[in-house]
Every structure is written in structure tokens, then in C-alpha cells.
Structure 1
Amino acid sequence: MNLKNLETFIWCARLGSFRAAALKLNATQPTVSMRIKNLESAFGIELFDRTHQSNKLTPKGRELLQYGESIIKLIDEATSRVANTSHVSGHVKLGVTETIAMTWLPDLVRQLDTNFPRLRVELEVGLTNVVWSQLMSGEIDLALLPGPVRGVGLVSQSLGLVDYKWMASPKLELPDRDLTPTDLKSQSIITLSSDSNLHNVISDWFKQSGADHWRTTVCNSLSVVSSLTIAELGVSLMPPEIFQDQLSRNQLKVVETKLPLNAMEFVSCYPTTGQPIAAQIALAAQSCSTFRSLN
């Protein structure tokens, strides 16, 4: 059995089309089709139900997919444990959300430069849903984002917990007590767009008390959220870990609330059929993370 054919089959099954697999593997569509035919010939079975326009797996195809993902995962584990990392080369695309980009991402890039000097790392910084979509479509090889994540053929590892607090400018006139969602409802809530986990956390927090109609100023950058908050344009939910300087300079203050907020867990996530280097980058991310441990 040819491993390249097996990998191609897994990507076809995962991405849902030969065309998408061809783009992911940097191959032509006829090449992908030939690899699938060769794999089918090797096993004497049909992997896809060709009576459907979509690439629907046959029962034998689904069975082989499970074995194939296990085989690729074992090969990746062997590579990560045995290979000389200084000889690892190629190109890997890493998707991260802004909370990581603004904290320990430089340390991770520095460690990757040291451990894998011949590896070219390309970074994509975006909101949670955008990074997740890029991972699912094969545009990136590994994602660092808020969890939990669920999906077939994915490996996920915790990167720790991040605490979020309501913040405002000290100049903004707010009641001098622990506030409720109803209290904050009268303020403009500065937040990331609905493509972010943070937006959903805020929405759920207000709905818990029945205050589900809240005014928002929406953007796609956490640094812009902080700038607008400092400018007294509203209140925002942000991680104090990132904004310690602004808090110490009295540009921001923590707004205490009666209804507690749960910490947000961040994770690394990559497909079992992805690049072998992804597992090693995930381990490096764990070692570089400054987020609070689950234990």
C-alpha cells in the first residue's frame, strides 16, 4: 500500500471533494483521482459511492478511513520522537487567535526557529471561527484557539486557562459596587464580532440574567477593543494578563460583577492526517504557554 495514496484518500474524505484535496496536497485533480483508483485497486474495493455527486464514502471506505487515520497518526508519532529536528524542513501554516498573538506567540516562534531552523512558519491571526474554518478546509496545518473543539480525526491538547474580566476607563462613571448584567446593559459593550468565542461568552452572560438586549460596538481586534475602552466609549470583557500595563497606568480598571465568568480554555488542534511537524509544534506551544494550568 502506498502511503501517499492513503494520505490522499484521507484528505478527500475529510475535505469532501477531490478538488479540495488536490489544493491541499498541491497536486492536480487527475493525480488525486489516479491515487484513489490505485488505492481501490490495491484493496479490490470501491472507496466512494459514485452514484452520488458528493464524495460519499462506502461502508468499506469508512472502515479504511479509520485504519488510515490510525496508520498516519502512528507514523507522525514515530517521526516526532525519532527524527532529528534540525533536519526538518518545509512549510507549515499556523493559525492563532489574538489572545495568543498578544502574549506568548513570540516565544513560540523563537523556539521553533531554534528547534527547526530549516522550517518556514507562516502565521495567520484571526478570530476563532475564522481560524477554525481555515483548519477544517486544510488552509492551515495547526490551530491555537479557544476550546473545546470537536471533530473526527482531530488531535486537541490543552494550552491552559485564561481569565476574563470586565474593564472600563476609570473616567467612565459607573456605580461603585459589584455590577450586574442589568447595570452594564446601559453601557455600550465593546466586543469582538460573532466570529469570536468572546462574543458568545458575553451574550450568554447577559442572557443568564434576562438582559439579552445589549448595545454593542463590534470590531475584529482585541487591541482596538482596548483602545476604544480606554477612550471611555464603553465597557469590554478582556483578559487582564494582556493589559497589565494599562491597568497599572490607570488607563483601565477592572469592573467587579456579581455574576461570575468562567475562565476560557485554549487548545492546540491539528488533523491526524496533517503534517508530522504539527504534533511537535503543539508540544512546543504547551511549553511556551503562559496561561493558567488546568491543574
Structure 2
Amino acid sequence: MIDLRTLETFWVVAQTGGFHRAAEKLHTTQPAVSARIAQLELELKVRLFERDKRGSRLTVKGREILKYAERMLALRTEMVLSVAGANALEGTVQLGVSDTIVHTWLPELLKRLNHEYPAITLEINVDGSTGLAAALLENSIDVAFLLGPVISGSVANLPLCEYPLSWVVREEFPLGPEAVTLKELAAFPIITFARQTQPYRELTELFNKAHQQRVRLFANSSLSSIVRMTLDGIGVAAIPVEVVSDHLATGKLRVLTTIDQTMPTMVFTASFIKGPDTHLNGVVAALAQKVAGEYALFSDRPSHQDQTISAD
């Protein structure tokens, strides 16, 4: 008899494209996955996957069976939610998180998840948005909070938050308090996100348009390291004020006002894999959207306009 666990294994192999990846996703062994697929093929009397060095691909019959498997798994989730409610949800979600989110509202999300869905377990991976998007498309993570959206038919995207970059310096830094120009900023190291990120590319373009090609951009993949370098007075940080709100409140850091500059804005999404048995992904993404909205509502960030002064 075909059971739901076997169908779930079949669906995960189809999504991940390999028995080894499916085993990691299901927290089991590759021989166990192979045995379930072999039993399913035996019962259905068809070959479900073509296997080679590049992975496993569905056969024509496999694609046909996949439609039925998705419907049955979706029906199981619908039954559980209808009878037992959301509190019955349990399982593990592989969550990928951008460093910026770690430094803002992620702790509050973890508290809320633990309170509202105590049977959901999170395994968290902190990485840059490029790496998180690749991991999501490879099915090695289920949900990602990243600079999005991720464009794929298998991925859903919920808007999370928008954080404009600001120029942040140590209190004693030799700039300000009057408004500064890009030329004045370019005399100092600019400390910001890693080279392959959207903020780095947009800052490069910003200085190029101002004919400041000799600017020194110190790329850094660690937000904690960026903040530490800024506190040490090494240069001017181009980061969201949300990640250094405590240091701004104590006066260790301050925000520079600028003349006629529109700073890049970091736009984050909760991107997650869609599927018949992936309701947990949507639950985590939806709660993250709610927490991010509440964080923005109660944030005392000065408006972006307050940090820019016109030259007129």
C-alpha cells in the first residue's frame, strides 16, 4: 500500500533533483530514500526517475504521478488544519536570513514563533542575499529573508521591509555637523556591504555619477564587522540606521546629513518554496511579514528626507 510518507519522499526527490539532497531535506539517509522510491516504483509498476551523474529527473510517468502526489499531500495538510487548527502544525523549517534582518527584528520573530507555533523548529543559516537565493532555488533552504524578490515559478514572495542606507560615523569623526557632499565623503573609506551585493553596486554607481571614481569602498560581508570598524573611526559606513539604533541612542555613532543625494534602499522579501506539503513555509513567512511591519511602525528612524538637505 502506498503511504503518505513515501509520496512525500517522492515529491522531495522531484523538487530537489537528487536522492542525496532529498535525504538531507528529510533528515534521513540516502539508502532510505532509495528504498522508498524503489518500493513506490514496484507498486506502481513504472519507472519514476531517470538517474545520471547530474541528478534525478522525472520520467513521463513520474510527472503524471507527481500531480496526484501533490493533491494527496495538500489534502493531508488541509485535513490537519481543518480538524486540529494551526496549533497542530509541526516540523522543521530551514530558514535563511540576511545579516541585516539578524540585527533588526529576527529576535522578535523567534520569540513569536516559539510562542504561537511551539512545535515548529527552525534551523537558521545567515548568508548574503545572493547565496540565500541560490540555496532557495536548490531547495537546501525553505524560506529566505533576503534582498528580493526571487523570480521562480516555485517561489512565493512576500514584501517584508525597506531600509534606506544612511551615512553613519563615529561621534568624533571629522565630518559634519553641517551637510556634506559626496566629494567630501570620498576622502574617507566607505564601509559597506560585500562586493556582490545590491548596496555595493548602487553605491559604486552613486559615486561614479558624481565623478568620484577614486572612492575607496571597503566591502565587508559581516555587518557586525562593519559596525565595529565604524565605531573604531576607520571610515564612513553606508548602512541602514536600524542596525545601529542602540549606538545612535547612546551617542557613540551619528548620522551625517548630505546635500542632494538619494541613497539606495534595501528592499527585503520573505521568499519561500511553494508546494502541497509546505504550509509551514507560508506560516513562517507570513508571521515574519507581520513582525517586520510592527518593527517599522514602532521604529523611531528619522525619515530619509530628514537626512538630505537640498542645495537650493
Tell me how far apart the structure 2 counterparts of residues 151 and 265 of structure 1 sit (CA, whole Å). 18
User: What amino acid sits opposite 1:13 in the alignment?
Assistant: A
Is the partner of 1:55 in helix, strand or coil? Answer: strand
Q: Does the aligned pair in 1 maintain the 2:95–2:141 contact within 8 Å?
A: yes
User: What amino acid sits opposite 1:160 in the alignment?
Assistant: C
- 2:5 corresponding residue in structure 1: 4
Residues 186, 75 of structure 1: alpha-carbon distance in 2 compared, 3 angstrom cutoff: farther
TM-score normalised by structure 2 residue count: 0.75
Render the CA deviation track for 1:146-165: whole Å, top value 9, x for unaligned.
21212231222111222221
Q: Give, in angstroms, the shift of residue 57 of structure 1.
A: 3.8
Render the CA deviation track for 1:91-122: whole Å, top value 9, x for unaligned.
33322222222222222112112112333333
Tell me how far apart the structure 1 counterparts of residues 210 and 67 of structure 2 sit (CA, whole Å). 45
Matches within 5 A, 1:94-173: 94-173=95-174
Residues 266, 291 of structure 1: alpha-carbon distance in 2 compared, 3 angstrom cutoff: farther
Tell me how far apart the structure 1 counterparts of residues 30 and 79 of structure 2 sit (CA, whole Å). 30
Q: Does the aligned pair in 2 maintain the 1:162–1:292 contact within 8 Å?
A: no
Bigger Rg over Cα: 2
Q: Give, in angstroms, the shift of residue 78 of structure 1.
A: 6.0
Aligned partner of 1:283 among 275, 282, 286: 286
Q: Does the aligned pair in 1 maintain the 2:144–2:270 contact within 8 Å?
A: yes
- 1:17 corresponding residue in structure 2: 18
Aligned partner of 1:253 among 249, 255, 272: 255
Point out where structure 1 has 5 or more consecutive residues left out of the alignment: none
Render the CA deviation track for 1:184-237: whole Å, top value 9, x for unaligned.
333212123235443344334345556555423333322321221232211121
Q: How many residues matched?
A: 292
Render the CA deviation track for 1:6-33: whole Å, top value 9, x for unaligned.
4333332332322111221123323323
Tell me how far apart the structure 2 counterparts of residues 203 and 60 of structure 1 sit (CA, whole Å). 51
Tell me how far apart the structure 2 counterparts of residues 66 and 168 of structure 1 sit (CA, whole Å). 56
Instruction: Say which is worse superposed, 191-200 or 51-60, in terms of deviation.
Output: 51-60
Point out where structure 2 has 5 or more consecutive residues left out of the alignment: 298-312
Instruction: Say which is worse superposed, 43-52 or 124-133, in terms of deviation.
Output: 43-52
Residues 204, 25 of structure 1: alpha-carbon distance in 2 compared, 3 angstrom cutoff: farther
Q: Give, in angstroms, the shift of residue 53 of structure 1.
A: 4.8
**Higher RCO by CA contacts (8 Å cutoff, separation 6 or greater):** 1
Tell me how far apart the structure 2 counterparts of residues 85 and 71 of structure 1 sit (CA, whole Å). 19
Q: Give, in angstroms, the shift of residue 43 of structure 1.
A: 6.2
Q: What percent identity do the matched residue pairs reach?
A: 29
Q: Does the aligned pair in 2 maintain the 1:178–1:258 contact within 8 Å?
A: no
Tell me how far apart the structure 2 counterparts of residues 64 and 254 of structure 1 sit (CA, whole Å). 60
Matches within 5 A, 1:146-225: 146-174=147-175, 176-180=178-182, 182-194=183-195, 196-209=197-210, 211=212, 214-225=215-226
Instruction: Say which is worse superposed, 97-106 or 240-249, in terms of deviation.
Output: 240-249
Residues 106, 59 of structure 1: alpha-carbon distance in 2 compared, 3 angstrom cutoff: same
Residues 66, 269 of structure 1: alpha-carbon distance in 2 compared, 3 angstrom cutoff: farther
Residues 216, 73 of structure 1: alpha-carbon distance in 2 compared, 3 angstrom cutoff: farther
Instruction: Say which is worse superposed, 267-276 or 96-105, in terms of deviation.
Output: 267-276
Residues 225, 50 of structure 1: alpha-carbon distance in 2 compared, 3 angstrom cutoff: closer
Q: Does the aligned pair in 1 maintain the 2:189–2:236 contact within 8 Å?
A: yes
- 1:267 corresponding residue in structure 2: 269
User: What amino acid sits opposite 2:270 in the alignment?
Assistant: S
User: What amino acid sits opposite 1:246 in the alignment?
Assistant: H
TM-score normalised by structure 1 residue count: 0.79
Q: Does the aligned pair in 2 maintain the 1:165–1:238 contact within 8 Å?
A: yes
- 1:235 corresponding residue in structure 2: 236
Instruction: Say which is worse superposed, 244-253 or 34-43, in terms of deviation.
Output: 34-43
Tell me how far apart the structure 1 counterparts of residues 291 and 83 of structure 2 sit (CA, whole Å). 22
Q: Give, in angstroms, the shift of residue 123 of structure 1.
A: 2.9
Instruction: Say which is worse superposed, 260-269 or 58-67, in terms of deviation.
Output: 58-67
User: What amino acid sits opposite 2:289 in the alignment?
Assistant: Q
Q: Does the aligned pair in 1 maintain the 2:191–2:236 contact within 8 Å?
A: yes
Tell me how far apart the structure 2 counterparts of residues 285 and 171 of structure 1 sit (CA, whole Å). 37
